[in-house]
Amino acid sequence: MILHDWDEAKNRALLRRSFGALPSGGAVVISELLVNDEKTGPAPAALMSLNMLIETEGRNYTQAEYSAWLEDSGTSRRSGSRHPARTAP
């Protein structure tokens, strides 16, 4: 619950550095409220995103955004995972 505080560039850097600091077989866990692809809901995530836009340089992001950032950071290539970002049911 920290990535929503930052813009895309800082989040990408945080994820790269976090992954780079892991021991072999380690994992990066992202625990955030996800907005839908249209960035209109669900309501708790959209309202929190609005608050983040006002108070910080961040917002709430979509699963696709996190997946792209993890892919770009090399997470899926290094771990061998075909699904670098997953959400809990």
Catalytically active residues are 4
Helices (H), the chain: 8-20, 43-55, 63-73, 75-79
Residue 55 CA to residue 48 CA, distance in Å, equals: 10
